[in-house]
Each structure stands twice: as C-alpha cells, then as structure tokens.
Amino acid sequence: MKLIEKIAYISFWINIFFVIFVYVGMPILFINVPDFFETWTANKGRNPLNTTFSILSLAVFFHWGYCIWFLFKYDRYSKSIFPLFFLNAIYAPIYYYRVKIKKRPLRNKIIKPKEIETDTEDQSISEDEFIKLNRENIIGLLKLWSSKEEQLEYQKSFPIAQVSSELFEQWDDFYTADSEVLSEAFNEHELDLLNKFDSELTDIGEKLKGETPQIEEFIKTSEWQKMNLLAQKILIDLK
C-alpha cells in the first residue's frame, strides 16, 4: 500500500471520530461539563485540547481532499459528487468506505440507459445528465484556466496536487474531439472554439514535454498567459 493510501486510510478513521465528536460529543460536553468551555478557550485557544482539535481538523480536510481527488480521477460520473461537495467531511468517510473498502464499481465512463440491467440510479447517471455534466466540466475547466486567483486558491486548498499539471490532465479527461457526446453538448461554433483551445494546449504540452512547472511559476510564463487569455475569450462566446 502506498504511503498516501495509508494516510488516507488513517484519516478515514480520524474523520469518523471527528464527526461523532463534533456532532455528538461536543454538545454533550458543553451541556454536562460546566468548565468545558473555559477549558476549550483557555490561554486564548493555545491549549492541548484546542491544538489536538486543530490537528484532527487538518486530517479531516486531507481525507475530504483525497476523496475529491479520487472521485475526479476514477469516479467522476458518480452522483457522489454532489453529497461529497455539499456535505464534505460528513459524507467523505461514507464515500471512502463504499469505493475503497467495499470496492463498489467506479463510474469513470457513461453507461448508456439501454445497457443498464439493474437500478439505473445506482449504476450511473443518465445520458442527458452526462451530456450536461460534460459541458459543465469543460466550461468549469475553462473558468479555472481563465483565473489566476482560482488556480492559486486551488493549489492552496489541495497542496498534494500539482495544479499546473491538473490543468492539462483534466482537459484530456473531459475533452475528446469528434465524440458524439461532445457534439451534443456544444454547437458547431462552440466546438470550433474548443478545438482551437485543445490545439493550442496540445502544442504547449508538447513544448513542455511533461515538465510543467509549479503553478506559482507557470502563471508567469508566456504559455500560461496565452491559454489564460484564450480561455477568457472562449468563455465570452460560450455564454
């Protein structure tokens, strides 16, 4: 087992303990232990109890970030994307248990309705939902390309990721030229714009030869500035 997998497994149990403590344990302690609040806030929060809570919070944040990364990498067409984003730390251990421990089938590709023999909601999103999600994913990635601030914030939120490489890899995941789904998600003019963006991005990728600098350095390059401006222009037309 890789080191990051071991850390994710440990943080899975920490996440469970943390959620139980926050939503069950803390209310009980605040109600039944008169001095608990004073203990919690003692020395302006610089105390062992608060420090331990902060460390556990970092582990929980890591676990949620790992689940987000895993979903987009291997399970991006699962409906788990919605509770994972909106319920975050509460749902993260549930998602981890299902995909990593129980090893349910991953939804990394669309399953046509006619191919589904069991419960459709359990197996995959519908084709119409997939088309909509495909468009939203590409537009969302263009928005990320168009914003230096969002890219830096993304890196800050997920320090284990290399955002500059993710910008290229996610485009390869979401954009497949001449695919039927893509032609249903975008009109002919929009497809021409996406094809131009893909062509420019491919040229830059070949120039970099897989050695993409960290995002803090990448945003200073002429290559990044070119794609940043192109993404902004395309987004205007896509509206």
Which of 3-7, 50-54, 146-150 ranks highest by mean pLDDT? Answer: 146-150
Is 131 within 8 Å of 112 (Cβ atoms)? no
Domain ranges of the chain: 3-101, 124-238
Distance CA 21, CA 13 (A): 12
**DSSP secondary-structure letter at 32?**
H
Is 124 within 8 Å of 107 (Cβ atoms)? yes
Section 68-96 average pLDDT = 86
**pLDDT of the residue at 58:** 92
For residue range 14-38, list pLDDT tens digits in order: 999 999 988 888 888 788 887 877 7
For residue range 100-154, list pLDDT tens digits in order: 888 777 766 544 444 434 444 444 456 677 778 888 889 989 999 999 999 998 8
Half-sphere exposure of 14 toward its Cβ, with a 13 Å CA cutoff? Answer: 19
**pLDDT of the residue at 13:** 93
Question: Quick check: 225 pLDDT over 90?
Answer: yes
Q: How much of the chain is helix, strand and coil, in % rounded to 5? A: 75, 0, 25
* CA 184 to mean position of chain CA atoms: 25
**pLDDT of the residue at 197:** 95
Question: Quick check: 175 pLDDT over 90?
Answer: no
**Does pTM surpass 0.95?**
no
Helix (H) or strand (E) holding 152: helix 148-157
Distance CA 71, CA 217 (A): 27
